[in-house]
Amino acid sequence: MTKIDANFRRRAQEEEALSAGDGVTRDDETACELLSTTPVNILIVDDEPKNLTVLEAILDDPGYRLVRAQSAEQALLALLAQEFALLILDIRMPDVTGFELAQMIKARKKPPMCRSFF
């Protein structure tokens, strides 16, 4: 899969709802326009710089805003600063595993509005 399927599926559903005229308001249309022009924030976490570079090459798309983190600490700081639609986590990092990082993120009081992939 070359693109994030959920993002495209959501956009297709929004476009379908707009064209169907099934009770979609002007505010909904404005929100959909904003969604289609606003880049999707993706956090990629890996302690190996070459792996981050490979992920950036794979996800090279104007619709994505990629943020790199080389440790769990950097990832947590990034999550405090902004929201992410998707997290891509390295399973084997020296300080904290990707699974442990995902548990820390889930334990936050503010529920994350994102999906995690390992």
> pLDDT of 43-69, one tens digit each?
999 999 999 999 999 999 999 999 999
Residue 105 has a pLDDT of: 86
Residue 55 has a pLDDT of: 95
pLDDT band per the 50, 70, 90 thresholds, residue 37? confident
Residues contacting residue 86 through CB under 8 Å, at least 6 positions apart: 4, 40, 41, 42, 43, 114, 115, 116, 117
Give the separation between CA 49 and CA 93, rounded to whole angstroms: 12
Amino acid symbol at 24: V
Q: Which CATH fold would you assign to the domain 39-118?
A: Rossmann fold (3.40.50)
Residue 90 has a pLDDT of: 93
pLDDT at 88 over 90: yes
Domain ranges for the chain: 1-38, 39-118
